[in-house]
Structure 1
Amino acid sequence: MTTPVALTIAGSDSSGGAGIQADLKTFAALGVYGASAITALTAQNTNGVTGIHAVPAEFVTAQIDAVFADLDVGAAKIGMVAQALSIDAIAAALSRWAPRNVVLDPVMVATSGDRLLSPQAVEALRNKLVPLASVITPNLPEAAALLDEPVARSEAEIESQGRRLLALGARAVLIKGGHGEGAASIDYLVSAESTIALAAPRVATKNTHGTGCSLSSAIAAGLAKGDTLEQAVRNAKAWISAAIAAADRFSVGHGHGPVHHFHKFY
């Protein structure tokens, strides 16, 4: 039996709740072997980000090449890319290795509100990484930032932004509704064929650190296991909802604590 493998290309979170650490926990929780290529080291905790140290672009390339040269990667997830040079390196490497599935989480701002990507890097992400993606997973503010538009306020506006993101080259878009309002958190999966609304009860907790990283990694895990995109998204949404619902079992840090990746196990 072939072991499903997923690669995360993202930044490190020293407090363990988001980034590479959240991605590897997600892969493990969902039965997928995780590999990583680190784009940046961050000094951060549940209260915020106090420092970012970008990994040189050529070393990002070296990590990606080392993984693909040896492991049968079923899906690659891209998270925090840190700088425009890293985006160039990632785009070149993924074009060279052509993984079957690419999940792009356009991380621009941390849960704490700290900005993680410069405006010029946003343009590079839009032009070079979005066209390589099987699916991109922006939240409402990130979708607006990618399009340089105001944040969508209605279902019609969200679908319209999803269509415009498809026009940038992505094969599908999952616009996450966690920043919306109401009793349900509704995500919209937009493809050329359809728009599917995926609702989950909104959980009252401040412990949401790493939610976006973990959801995109859960989708990558599903794709690595051979799920269709819709299956992978539905399963990932159910899993992250349970991880958020179980987050208050933890008492970690003094700010936005982590979700409970291993809620099924303890």
Structure 2
Amino acid sequence: MQTFQIEIEDQALLEQGLSATMRFFTALASNQKTYKNTTAIVTDIDSPFLNIAYLGEINTHDIHDICENMHEWFSHYQVPWTLVRTALSTPANLHELLLQEKFGVIESVPCMYCDLSTVDTQSHHPGIRVQELLSSDNLLKWIQPICEGFEAKDGGELFRQLNEKVSKETGVLKQFVAYSEEEVVSSGTLFLIDDVVMIHNIATKTSALRRGYGTTLTRHLMNVAKQLGFKHCYLESSDSGYNIYRRCGFKVYGINHYYVKKQ
């Protein structure tokens, strides 16, 4: 598992970034609940990273009760799920307490930030055309790279339908696809909320990896956000996307640790 260094120590960024991330998943949610400073969000998609319980400021004596309550709640929906320990989660020994409850880390994800006013967001890749999909689009092109990049189950159909529904009903999502010689090679999403923008679901087809498509698409999304007047841009990075985002000007301000119950 790759390790990441914190490059920006800023409490305001931690709070704003976590709020934006939770609001993104709330936009996709079919249901949610708050229990003892833990916010649980379910999307009904068969992925542990889309059914999440964010741990806040937790009392030590509540840990067992929270774990049991979350397990019971998510079991009702019959979906895999994760507990998330963020930089704002307490107490300091929360990791050890979760281990005692038989939860283990499956992934540690760098949370990254970029001040769009300070970086060059122009993309310079000849032969690449990026298209914003209209709200009436059925997102069939958009889901193709995501299916490969994130190994989506059921061909990503439920996730596609969910994103299409949220886009039409709320307008907070903008989906994009990148073409090379009229073939879809990459896709990504902007989440626009108040004065903050987030980049999500940057994915590239396996056959098109390491050709600069992901970087070009990321810069394009950053430029769109910048032209819309946004300054604060956040994202959660995968291991494979980390170097791309670093090249685009993003820096790590926090790390989210995802836990699942050990069998």
Q: Structure 1 length as normaliser, TM-score? A: 0.33
Greater share of residues in strand: 2
Q: Which has the higher contact order (CA 8 A, sep 6+)?
A: 2
